[in-house]
Amino acid sequence: MLPQEIIKAKRDGKTLTREQIAFFVKGISNGNVTDGQVAAFAMSVYFNGMAMPERVALTEEMMNSGTVLNWDSFNLGGPIVDKHSTGGVSDSVSLMLGPMVAACGGYVPMIAGRGLGHTGGTLDKFESIPGYNIQPDLADFQRIVKDIGVAIIGQTADLAPADKRFYSIRDVTATVDSIPLITASILSKKLSAGLEALAMDVKTGNGAFMTSLEDSRALASSIVAVANGAGVRTSATITDMNEALGDTAGNATEMREAIEYLTGVRRNPRLHRVTMTLATQMLLLSGIAATKDEAKAKLNDALDSGRAAEIFGKMVHALGGPADFLENWQGYLPKAPVIMPVYADSPGYVAEVATRDLGLVVVTLGGGRSNPADSINHAVGLSEIAPIGTFVDSNRPLAMIHAEDEVSAAAASVELKASIGLSETLPELDPVVYETLTADDA
């Protein structure tokens, strides 16, 4: 079997066999397939797509290119379940959802990612906590999941290594925007954690990877079909990203919001709706709850009893953070030297948000990265972001900027105001949750 023959078959619109896909993925992993051949294969898929059996085969072969976690010897007392988001601005859902589901009896081995461009990264948020280790060895990772119920870490070199090389080549050859390849990339990493169930959050809107509802639905449908085809019970919920999801954007700022959420100080309605919807799906898919009402009751009890917050604190400490982080988080999280309000030039209702541009304000402040090698400032970001429908004037700012100095704060304030449109009348609001697709819909 030759790589060029496989590329030719896909170039000509043929359906590849599992054997052909397995051969090619092995070549990606061991270097027998060149960068040029990987690029040619990706472009062939970009233009000709993949049938569902091909997508399942590509996902499984990339998943099996490295370690696939096995939990049989751990005798866990509940199901192994996770959640994944396609990314957006102010999306801190994972920070609360993992401990909430663990408090309900699930085991959540969450492999998270860093932020890039306008989207924030779960790992960057956790690295705002002193000592938090995002890359423990896999034995420690599994032990923490067993003992506490949840661990949120980064991808190691052992998990889906073929995807790492494949994605880096796609990134520089304009072939990222392929639903079959996106599907395989996401799922090969997530399913390598040995999951029994997965709840996907597919964002839609001007701050999302997929900006149109039609494209978001196509990706959601593909993910649901492939993951279920690979034997993992999966649903995909399409949620809004036409504005920031929560009150904050940044790293330490979003960590503060997550702690206040878990401890009941403040729960942004949009953020709460998405968190509860996805956590409910996790409980239903994993069999922890039989109905939505039962799932919501369990999740509310996990929050109100303090169990979810307690589990969050234990996870932080188990991964190297302070033992008293939950109680004394204000003393541990970095604070920006300059915190200033940004007011609109004239009063009105927030009517629209260029969400991608809003996310780039955080990058301008130093809290995000334009390429993976960039270092970031965990203290900077935004808080008190005015959601669409808010009346802003000289008393209610558009947001609070957290900056390293007054010069960067002033520059960011110009970008912030440019990203927000006002109107004299109250605007119509987009749905927060559009729909959930299950195996029956894919």
Active-site entry in 10, 29, 55, 84? 84
Question: Residue 250: beta bridge partners?
Answer: 381
Domains of the chain by range and CATH? 3-49 (1.20.970.10), 72-329 (3.40.1030.10), 334-423 (3.90.1170.30)
| Residue 84 main-chain phi, psi, to 5 deg | -145, 140
Mean pLDDT of 124-152: 96
% of residues, the chain, pLDDT over 90: 92
Catalytic residue (choose from 118, 164, 190, 298): 190
Q: Where is pLDDT greater, at 272 or 120?
A: 272
pLDDT at 334: 97
- Whether 212 is a known active-site residue: answer no
Q: How far apart are CA 90 and CA 121, in angstroms?
A: 10
How does strand 197-204 pair with strand 348-353? unpaired
The pairing of strands 420-423 and 348-353 is: antiparallel
Q: What is the mean pLDDT of the chain?
A: 96
Residue 113 has pLDDT above 90, yes or no: no
- Flag whether pLDDT at 117 surpasses 70: yes
The half-sphere exposure of 35 on its side-chain side, counting CA atoms within 13 A, is 9
Q: Between the CA atoms of 340, 124, 103 and 97, what dihedral angle is there, to the nearest 10 degrees?
A: 70
pLDDT above 90 (res 442): no
Which of these is catalytic: 10, 83, 267, 270? 83
**Per the structure block, which two tokens stand in for 230?**
């690979």
Whether 381 has a pLDDT exceeding 90, the answer reads yes
Q: Which residue has the tokens 């004299």?
A: 424
pLDDT for 256:
98
Tens of pLDDT along 310-332?
999 999 999 999 999 999 999 99
Mean pLDDT of 142-155: 96
pLDDT at position 375 is 85
Give the mean pLDDT of 105-120.
88
Does the pLDDT of residue 147 top 70, yes or no? yes
Say which of 185, 222, 286, 355 is annotated catalytic. 185
In terms of Cα–Cα distance, which of 63, 80, 16 is closest to 44? 16
Catalytic residue, chosen from 10, 44, 55, 82, is 82
Confidence of residue 111 (pLDDT cuts 50, 70, 90): very high
> Which tens digit of pLDDT belongs to each residue from 396-431?
999 999 999 999 999 999 999 999 999 999 999 999
Catalytic residue among 92, 94, 122, 237: 122
| Separation CA 139–CA 34 (nearest Å) | 33
For residue 119, pLDDT over 70 is answered with: yes
* Catalytic site includes residue 335: no
User: pLDDT band for position 155 (50/70/90)?
Assistant: confident
Over 70: is that where the pLDDT of 87 sits? yes
φ and ψ at 382, to 5 degrees? -130, 150
- Give residue-wise pLDDT tens across range 45-67: 999 999 999 999 999 999 999 99
Burial of 215 (0-12, 13-18, 19+ CB in 10 A): middle
**438 flagged as catalytic:** no
In the chain, the largest separation of any two C-alpha atoms, in whole Å, equals 70
pLDDT digits (tens, 9 = 90+) for 160-170: 999 999 999 99
Tell me how far CA of residue 385 lies from CA of 250, 257, 280, in angstroms.
Answer: 12, 12, 27
Predicted confidence (pLDDT) per residue in 278-311, tens digit: 999 999 999 999 999 999 999 999 999 999 999 9
The share of the chain scoring above pLDDT 70, in percent, equals: 100
Check residue 120 and give its pLDDT: 81
Is 85 marked active-site? Answer: yes
pLDDT interval class at 185 (50, 70, 90):
very high
Q: Which two tokens stand for residue 363?
A: 């990058």
| Mean pLDDT within 327-338 | 97
| pLDDT recorded at residue 171 | 87
Residue 164 annotated to the active site: no
Asked if pLDDT for residue 201 goes beyond 90, the answer is yes
Reply yes or no on whether 356 is catalytic. Answer: no
Question: How many whole angstroms separate alpha carbon 225 and alpha carbon 439?
Answer: 6
Provide mean pLDDT across the span 90-95: 96
Mean pLDDT, residues 261-286 taken together: 98
pLDDT score recorded for residue 377: 95
Q: Is 185 a catalytic residue?
A: yes
pLDDT higher than 70, residue 41:
yes
